[in-house]
Structure 1
């Protein structure tokens, strides 16, 4: 009984940490929108937001790794570290920042609803598993709903921002899978910290090169959004998220991510003043429902022939 209670306590802590990470990530979209500004009133350059937030978080990571005496990566860690960096440090933030110059954060929030399915599909391919036909049917339906929503919002056709958002989802999925591979051997906090540190020789020079020419002309709100995505979205959020997955189990805790689109929709109202339309909420519910069903479809563990 004591062992069972201890297991439940560990799983509940994992769920709580996972939810904390999701709340932090849900604010990423409205805060990034604040940082880059809309197309008609631009603020910080998207490339600066991408490189600057990673460089700032990497400098914090250097201190953290030194204080915790983290072990150095080995040769076999090089490839997953590089893949995780490409996905979570470069690809996802850059695609999101570019897209949010063109579309509201609520639009992006609906597209992010397919991230759990993208992650599951990438994991199945990486592990050479065979998802069931039901899983792939849900994946196709979820993507169709997202593209349908994007077309409706775009007046009957897709826009470049929709492609950028899908690229962001694919980048995040690849980065999550690589990060999960590393988390099997490392502490979750060390994973994201090393991913950021190995990216520093690229992100710091790029951030300096594309820094805003007139920092004083950038609004305080834009700098506040940039500070949030640097400290929380790029660093501390992964502390809670990866640790939650490790404690509560990836399958169970990953279900919490399904509330992220709704949190992003709701948080965009007070942060950005964006109106919440009924059609946006309906599409978000539909996408999350499909993802919920798809996550429960069978994925065969044996390798593909």
Structure 2
């Protein structure tokens, strides 16, 4: 409220943070919703391959309708390569890694391991742009990886399990997909980037969804989790996230992503009844700290 008593509209930075926080909340719910969709080893629901292809196919159909409704022009040829690479990471690699891992580990476990995704994205971005990160950056990246490995081994009784390899694949491919999408975003409006990525993948995702359609009955809750990952995690979440980055600036708004592991852990406890262990929260806090330090270091 101003000195005259009239309400003032929030500035761009504040609105950007609000949109960014909404995007992070949507992405944080992806883990428990994916767990709900695939079930666990004792009570499997939708096949992981179907969750991966089906959610991308449904989101792709919605994206196609959006592009037609807005009269979007075909992306320039220079963006086809980054869009294809982004599809490999964000449409295929990251969702498939999560779906396969969450059959065997809780959502809270996946939240901690994937908490290094912002740092992994920075590493891929620095390599792709031929930048020279400082020693402090690489130290933070190494510390983050060490923490994640220690947490995974602790949860696995002293050994790493196959699910951790799937989560590592999700982080690596997700980082590549984000960086490629950012490159395409230099030539296209942000909402069009994810929409063209999804539409371009339809020739692959639609047939794959049909081939992997579940043959056994599936609970309504599993279908609900699947619908969330398709409509929100795969598509609308990027609208909110990219809009927030554009309004408030990448450096300021991207810091909100540090809250994502904690939001995912809390959501898993509330939605799935997973136990909220103090050690898990402690590891998540440690990962958040090194990610925050790594993002503050100099990159030449």
Q: Same fold judged by TM-score > 0.5?
A: yes
Give the C-alpha shift of residue 149 in structure 1: 0.2
Q: In the TM superposition, what whole-angstrom CA distance separates every residue of 1:87-110 from its partner, at most 9, and x where no partner exists? A: 100000000000001100010000
Q: What corresponds to 1:274 in structure 2?
A: 274
Return the alpha-carbon distance in structure 1 between the equivalents of residues 127 and 245 of structure 2.
Answer: 20
Residue 58 (structure 2) aligned to one of 46, 56, 59: 56
Q: In the TM superposition, what whole-angstrom CA distance separates every residue of 1:137-178 from its partner, at most 9, and x where no partner exists? A: 000000000000000000001011111101101111111111
Q: What corresponds to 2:49 in structure 1?
A: 47
Equivalence map 1:88-103=2 (5 Å)? 88-103=90-105
> Is the CA contact (8 Å cut-off) linking 1:34 and 1:222 kept in structure 2?
yes
Q: What corresponds to 2:183 in structure 1?
A: 181
Equivalence map 1:282-297=2 (5 Å)? 282-297=282-297
Give the C-alpha shift of residue 184 in structure 1: 2.0
Deviates more, 1:173-182 or 1:217-226: 173-182
The unaligned stretches of length 5 or more in structure 2 are 1-7
Equivalence map 1:1-305=2 (5 Å)? 9-214=11-216, 217-300=217-300
The secondary structure found in structure 2 opposite 1:299 is coil
Return the alpha-carbon distance in structure 2 between the equivalents of residues 241 and 180 of structure 1.
Answer: 12
Give the C-alpha shift of residue 288 in structure 1: 0.3
Return the alpha-carbon distance in structure 2 between the equivalents of residues 185 and 12 of structure 1.
Answer: 26
Return the alpha-carbon distance in structure 1 between the equivalents of residues 126 and 245 of structure 2.
Answer: 17
Q: In the TM superposition, what whole-angstrom CA distance separates every residue of 1:9-30 from its partner, at most 9, and x where no partner exists? A: 2222221111110000000000
**Cα RMSD, aligned residues only:** 1.1
> Is the CA contact (8 Å cut-off) linking 1:92 and 1:167 kept in structure 2?
yes
Task: Provide TM-score, normalisation by structure 1.
Answer: 0.94
> Is the CA contact (8 Å cut-off) linking 1:80 and 1:182 kept in structure 2?
yes
Q: In the TM superposition, what whole-angstrom CA distance separates every residue of 1:175-229 from its partner, at most 9, and x where no partner exists? A: 1111111222211111100000000000000000010113xx2011100000000
Return the alpha-carbon distance in structure 2 between the equivalents of residues 9 and 188 of structure 1.
Answer: 21
Deviates more, 1:70-79 or 1:203-212: 70-79
Q: In the TM superposition, what whole-angstrom CA distance separates every residue of 1:22-63 from its partner, at most 9, and x where no partner exists? A: 000000000000000001110000000000000000000111
> Is the CA contact (8 Å cut-off) linking 2:75 and 2:188 kept in structure 1?
no
> Is the CA contact (8 Å cut-off) linking 2:140 and 2:294 kept in structure 1?
yes
The secondary structure found in structure 1 opposite 2:188 is coil
Q: What corresponds to 1:3 in structure 2?
A: none
Return the alpha-carbon distance in structure 2 between the equivalents of residues 108 and 261 of structure 1.
Answer: 9
The secondary structure found in structure 2 opposite 1:98 is helix
Task: Provide TM-score, normalisation by structure 2.
Answer: 0.95
Return the alpha-carbon distance in structure 2 between the equivalents of residues 114 and 81 of structure 1.
Answer: 23
The secondary structure found in structure 1 opposite 2:110 is helix
